[in-house]
Chains A and B, each alone.
Chain A
């Protein structure tokens, strides 16, 4: 297993390098001229050219890429002479649009996404998996129909619509929760909770609905397996048959799905962050795309890809731990 993990980590690094190259090439092929974007409306060609040199955009693409990679590990210096400034490692670039280092931008935006996603994750796993199990055990009964009906609704409604409904009714019409938005936990724990509650529920609903269906189907499939019949034939009580033999096998695929979904969301929750005005990684990405802020886009894309790649590895290792039939070689 050790050798396997080493190999996978190497493959992972190669994948990240390939990802970053592709992102770099893509942006080089874009019609937008990053140097032109560094100054406003009344920009003289001289200023544009000066900025181009300052940014290193006059160099060939592979040199730019090398500087970018070097910046991540050792930091880099923009410009030269008196107009130069240092960007300390890990330097993901400098946003002239915002006048900030990309690393700092990510460091301020990511924790908000992390809190949003982890809170929603707990909610959707607890709710989705438990109602999915109930539906499987009450297959065909009213509980099953109700849960499956609601989950279809939950799954079909777009996140922004559910979010807006919450804002309209809970915040505006009934005034149950204020409009303070995100407050750091250390400043005001209660405010932090109420500020994130609606985004959590909004984001979790779609996933809870999906996981309820997934869990139900997995459980039904598992409960039809021969080894469940064997468990019954041993004389095990029904709660052991289902709670132990059934869940163990039925929930294994849920682990995979959960790991991958979690990693996808950590790269930024675009819609929920936009609806609830949360300054997370998703908002940062969208704003950067709208402003063609290339250094920020590059960084956010790489971070999102990194989460997915790392999560894949973790899920694979976890799977081998859960399922003894899986051999990591």
Chain B
């Protein structure tokens, strides 16, 4: 990495909890999540819909409505704690030191304002510059994210652009004030596959250039393989496995992670390999079971003696200093299962098919 990567975590999330009281009970969307990201590094948060990954991102950005949700734990951005900070303080950091891009760029851009207006506004809220200077910055950033004829695009409205161009505009808007942390919430989900690859390449290039810390939220393991250095797998509002990218792809241990890997197509897979969906539905986050949250969908719970999977919530335990797993199975058993299942998926364990064009070169 050309950028001097700080050894200090730029973003440090500790025991983050977000819950929403509803008429049916308390929804614990995020329940005790810890992770950290350094500058120039990418952390992927992976999980199905409803696993709490988007809420985690919004909690970091201070976008969770504090009137309807209760928040606890700590979020340190460059050492500054945000959960207990004044909202005004968090606001002044939003869009400046930390920025976010969203899943659906069409609905995330204001339909009534031109691209130029929306970009200029983003510049001027944090920089005391004239409209002309802001417009020039906006123009340069559009150019930088690969939008052809940026002058014309500034006058366009979001509905005039294609999906990929709109997401580039979103990325440009997020990067205008050179944030040190970029949170990308499913940045490619709403896009065509070829456009996905372009956006991923763009994010990677921009990260190299600016040394941004990226938190990538996705359910797409192909995108993860392309971009991430570290991976956190979330299920039912909790982290169930965390590790470096190779730990997750080559040495996964948690049955849920295995399930996720098994439901992704692989380039190297033989003709006989089948995609295996994870049976069942993600848990309702109201009144979670008292044992392992994944127990109802786990094919291996019978291998655990007693009713531990039903009665006892497993802890997130380290297997190596970087790799931790939340599972009652013995480490030996887990590895055996993983070897068997990964073998079945691909013959030889391999990372999933990448969607990026340059994804494999770095691995």
Contact = CB atoms under 8 A, between A and B. Distances in A.
B108 A249 contact: no
A234 B110 CA distance: 12
B60 to A, nearest CB: 11
Given A324-B159, A325-B157, A233 B109 contact: no
A322 interface: yes
A177 interface: no
A234 B94 contact: yes
Given A236-B121, A324-B159, A249 B96 contact: no
B107 A227 contact: yes
B91 A227 contact: no
A225 interface: yes
Contacts of A324: 111-112, 114, 157, 159
B102 interface: yes
A322 to B, nearest CB: 7
Interface in A196-241: 225-227, 229-238, 240
Nearest to B68: A140
Interface in B134-179: 157, 159, 170, 173
Given A226-B104, A229-B63, A324-B157, A235 B91 contact: yes
Nearest to A234: B95
Interface in A69-108: none
A238 B157 CA distance: 23
A325 B96 CA distance: 30
Interface residues of A, number: 22
A235 B111 contact: no
A245 B117 CA distance: 12
Contact of B107 (A226, A322, A323): A226
A319 B63 CA distance: 32
Given A233-B95, A324-B112, 6 more contacts: A230-B109, A230-B173, A234-B173, A235-B96, A235-B126, A324-B114
20 contacts: A227-B108, A229-B102, A233-B63, A233-B99, A234-B94, A234-B95, A234-B125, A235-B95, A236-B91, A236-B125, A237-B91, A245-B110, A245-B113, A248-B112, A249-B111, A322-B112, A323-B111, A325-B111, A325-B157, A325-B159
Interface of A: 225-227, 229-238, 240, 245, 248-249, 252, 322-325
The 9 closest A-B pairs by CB, nearest first: A235-B95, A235-B94, A226-B107, A234-B95, A227-B110, A226-B108, A324-B157, A234-B122, A233-B100
